[in-house]
Chains A and B, each alone.
Chain A
Amino acid sequence: MNGALELPGDVKDRIRELQELEKRVEAGEEGARRELRRAVRESTPMVIARCADVSGKSRGMLSEAVSGGRPLIKEALEAKAEAMRSEIAGEDPTPLELLLAEDITNQWLVQEMLGAFYAGQFQRREHKGESEHKGATISGIAFLLKFLLKMQESAHRRYLAAIRELARVRKLQAGAPAVQVNTQVNILGSG
């Protein structure tokens, strides 16, 4: 794990607290929903702000990895990710919608990065292939393929889950009084 790009400990604690409270509400504990409402109200601005910070920097790192150090491609990717994020968030998004839009964009970028890495590996192998022992090349590709395919599958699942989550939040927000959250989120272009 990249130590510099982790959510801070207090944010992780809040997330754990929300998870616990949600479980207590689901278990039918009296008063737990009221407590959860309070926790959501208090935690949301801080969690979203920190996530936006980590997310912006993460997007920068992923774009850099996809571009392979070519500044024009990095810039184009960042612009596309930004356009995607604001289009998904829509007009006047709630902070939660903004976070989910950000999440969807990140997951898309992760897929792009894995795809670029995958293609790059094959290109590199083709280039070096002649001087290598055939057996070693085949076993190397099998190992890498397995690993990358697994990562790509997980990334795709997460991408779809993030889209579903945003759709669900929007659908349910339309039918319920939303939890009032006032927060200012400063989104960095790429970190």
Chain B
Amino acid sequence: MAWEERGGRLYYYRSVRDGERVKKEYLGRGELAETIAHADETIRRHREERRAQEMAEGEILEDLVAPALEVREAARVLARASIVAAGYHRHRGEYRRERGA
């Protein structure tokens, strides 16, 4: 969304998505164009605030999950190490008893 100068005058254009393409929509100048530009700016700011809020919520979720992930990793490593220590080896994703182990 932008004001563009043509022949010394400012005209308001807005980018509109049409499928995969982005088209420029002409909205003119004057009071109406200014009102639309103001509304577009408010919506854009609102979206940005919402996005920032959602990202912050996402970080909270990740923080909540993080300890469970650490325990998962420790359990996984310990389980595999115990299996290998007990004389098994991995063969195509399956564990087989090592000969003579």
Contact = CB atoms under 8 A, between A and B. Distances in A.
Q: Do A and B share a complex?
A: yes
Interface of A: 1-2, 5-7, 11, 15, 18-19, 21-22, 25-26, 33, 36-37, 39-40, 43-44, 47-48, 51, 54-55, 57-58, 61-62, 65, 96, 99-100, 102-103, 106-107, 109-110, 113-114, 117, 132-133, 135-136, 139-140, 143-144, 147, 151, 155, 158, 161-162, 165-166, 168-169, 172-173, 175-179
Interface of B: 43, 46-47, 50-51, 54, 58, 61-90, 95, 97-98, 101
Contact of A103 (B72, B80, B83, B95): B72
Given A2-B67, A54-B67, A175-B97, A162 B82 contact: no
B63 A2 contact: yes
Nearest to A114: B61
Contacts of B46: 132-133, 136
30 contacts: A1-B63, A2-B64, A5-B66, A5-B67, A6-B67, A18-B77, A22-B77, A22-B80, A22-B81, A22-B84, A25-B89, A26-B84, A33-B101, A36-B85, A37-B85, A47-B74, A47-B78, A48-B78, A54-B67, A55-B71, A62-B68, A96-B82, A100-B79, A102-B75, A110-B65, A135-B43, A136-B43, A139-B47, A166-B79, A169-B83
